[in-house]
Structures are given as C-alpha cells and as structure tokens.
C-alpha cells in the first residue's frame, strides 16, 4: 500500500512539475521557448478568446486594414495571454490584433505570457481596454461598473488603476442610468457623451425621451440640448413646448451681433430660427439715441 502511495505521489509531482500541465509554472514550454513573463511566439489554435472581453463590437473595416498591415509588417505589439495548462493559453488583451492575425492567414502570433486568476484577468482586461481608449462610452461605463461589482474596486482605486479623475469615472457611471434607447444611440454614435450627460439631468423619463428624439431628428448640438433641458427639463416637454424651443445662436451669428453692436454703439441682438428666418433687435433709450442709430445706418 505504501508503495502505491509513493507511486501516486511521484506521478502527481511529475504532473505538477510538467510545464505543459502546470498552470502556475514559470518553467519553459516546448524546449524553453515559451516562458511565463517573457515574449514568445504561439500558434493561434493554442489561444482561447477572452471571456471577460469588455469590447463587444469590432469594426470589420478596421480589422481588415489591420490584417493587411499585419500581413505586411507582422504584429508589432505582442498580445497578452495567461497560461491555462495542457499547452493552452487564454487571451487577456489584444483581441483586435488576435482577430486581425487570423484574418491575415497567419498561424502564430507574438505573445506576452503571464499567470493570472479569473479576477486578476478581468481587471487587467478592463483596465487595459479603458487605458487604450478604444471603447465607446457605454462600454467604458460598463467596464467601470464591472470593476466595482466583480473586482471590488472603489472609485478611488479605479482612478489610480486607469489614470482617470474620479469625477470622470462618476460621469461615465451616471450614463448607465439612461434608458436603453438612449444608451443604444450613444453606442452607435447617433449622439455624443455630451448630449447624454445633458439628458441625465432630466428626471421625467417621457420628457427625457422626447428631448432625446428631437435631438436626434433635428441634430441638436450639445449646447442646444443643455438649453432645452434648462428650459423644459422640469416640465412636460410636448409638441407645443418643442415649437417654443429657442435656437441657440451660432458662433457666426454671435460675431455678427458683436460687430453690429460695436458699429452702432448700442446692444444688438440677432435671433435666427432653424428655418432661417429671424430678426435684429437694437436697444435704445430715447428718440435722440434712435436718431443717432438711424444716422449711423444711413
């Protein structure tokens, strides 16, 4: 019986010391060419995709362009993987390069091998993607939320890890309070983060959606949305109120107003509607001032 135990112990020891099967081994793999903590070349079929990947959308045109570049120049920056054991690896970061290499028809890719548990891997993947600023605002917001929920990071810790101000992180997290339709538009870049941040300040969901839909159909600027929210954010924003929405003066219109004011020596206001119609207002305090204005115009 004792001999069997010794044999079993020896077999288990051999298994754990075998770099092909030991997931924590820093020893070499395949003739000392693939070492944890080093850059190596791995076959693509030995790499599993990252189940914690925060990016959900990949631009196919951009992938094709990257594939062409990789075919010509190779992969300049290695991807990062973790060792799973049994000569298999899992992607931590660099899925765009991994996918583009597959498209390019190559069989292997340079990798940086490291050891990581699931939580460490999730944190590394999320932080790496946020730092590279390749995610849309919704994906960034979801990444921050996952760091809070799954990695138990506080906003202070996240600020240190990703090199962002805490206020920036808070602004992203607030986006997740918006309705799904607005988040979808933000993800598709139908609206910007500036538009979304302005819409967050509307408490009434119906009003919020009405302003959002008008913003998309009329291509309102962020400043216009901010003004509409200021004027109607606490009321029921209906068709009637929409028709009363004032147009925010453009930089060109503001310059014309300033030039006229300087020329006439009086305050001049230029109001232009979205239809192109408008009016010019010149303030005066007496008949004498009006005469002076008329003389200058003539």
The string of pLDDT tens digits covering residues 160-195 is 887 888 999 999 999 999 999 999 999 888 999 999
User: What residues are annotated to the active site?
Assistant: 95
Domain assignments of the chain as residue spans, ordered by start? 26-116, 177-243, 251-297
Higher pLDDT, 41 or 271: 41
Top pLDDT among 3 and 292 is at: 292
Q: What are the residues whose beta carbons fall under 8 Å from the beta carbon of 272, sequence distance 6 or more?
A: 247, 249, 250, 253, 278
Sign of CA dihedral 53, 55, 56, 60: negative
DSSP 24-48: T--S-STTTTS-TTSEEEEEGGGEE
Burial 46-75 (b: 16+ CB within 10 A, else e): bbeebebbbbeeeeeeebeebbeebeeeeb
CATH number of 26-116: 3.90.1530.30
Mean pLDDT of the chain: 77
Q: Report if pTM > 0.85.
A: no
Distances (CA, A) of 32 to 19, 80, 84, 174, 227: 10, 18, 17, 49, 65
Separation CA 272–CA 279 (nearest Å): 7
Rounded to an integer, what distance in angstroms lies between the CA atom of residue 278 and that of residue 58?
45
The answer on pLDDT for 46 being more than 80 is yes
Q: Report the distance separating Cα 177 and Cα 196, nearest Å.
A: 10
> Does position 32 have pLDDT exceeding 60, yes or no?
no
pLDDT tens digit sequence for 116-147: 676 777 777 777 777 765 678 988 888 888 88
Instruction: Give the pLDDT confidence score for residue 6 in this predicted structure.
Output: 38
**How far apart, in whole angstroms, are the C-alpha atoms of residue 56 and residue 129?**
12
Using CA atoms, how far residue 22 sits from 27, 85, 87, 227, in Å, is 9, 5, 9, 61
Quick: pLDDT tens for 106-119. Answer: 999 999 887 767 67
Residues with Cβ within 8 Å of 298's Cβ and at least 6 positions away in sequence, in order, are none
Phi, psi dihedrals of residue 200, rounded to the nearest 5°? -60, -30
* DSSP SS3 for 191: coil
Q: Write out the H or E segment, with its range, that includes residue 293.
A: helix 287-297
Q: CB 36: neighbour CB atoms within 10 A?
A: 19
**Mean pLDDT for the stretch of residues 193-221:** 88
């Amino acid at each position: 019986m004792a001999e069997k135990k010794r044999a079993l112990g020896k077999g288990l020891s051999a298994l754990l010391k075998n770099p092909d099967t030991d997931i924590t081994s820093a020893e070499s793999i395949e003739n000392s060419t693939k070492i944890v903590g080093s850059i190596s070349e791995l076959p693509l079929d030995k790499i599993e995709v990252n189940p914690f990947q925060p990016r959900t959308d990949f631009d196919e045109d951009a992938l094709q362009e990257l594939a062409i570049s990789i075919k010509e120049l190779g992969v300049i920056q290695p991807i990062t993987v973790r060792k799973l054991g049994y000569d298999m690896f899992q992607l931590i970061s660099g899925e765009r390069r991994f996918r583009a290499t597959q498209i390019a028809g190559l069989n292997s890719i340079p990798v940086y091998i490291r050891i990581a548990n699931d939580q460490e891997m999730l944190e590394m993947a999320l932080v790496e993607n946020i730092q590279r600023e390749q995610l849309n605002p919704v994906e960034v917001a979801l990444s921050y939320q996952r760091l809070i929920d799954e990695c138990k990071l506080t906003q202070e810790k996240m600020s240190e890890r990703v090199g962002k101000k805490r206020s920036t992180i808070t602004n992203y997290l607030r986006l997740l309070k918006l309705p799904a339709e607005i988040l979808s538009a933000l993800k598709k870049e139908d609206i910007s983060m500036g538009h979304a941040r302005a819409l967050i300040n509307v408490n009434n969901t119906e009003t919020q959606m009405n302003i959002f839909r008008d913003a998309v159909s009329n291509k309102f600027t962020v400043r216009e949305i901010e003004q509409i929210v200021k004027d109607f954010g606490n009321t029921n924003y209906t068709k009637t109120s929409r028709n009363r929405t004032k147009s925010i003066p453009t930089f060109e219109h503001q310059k014309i107003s300033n030039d006229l004011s300087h020329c006439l020596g009086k305050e001049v206001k230029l109001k232009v509607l979205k239809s192109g119609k408008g009016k010019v207002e010149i303030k005066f305090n007496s008949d004498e001032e009006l005469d002076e204005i008329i003389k200058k115009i003539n």
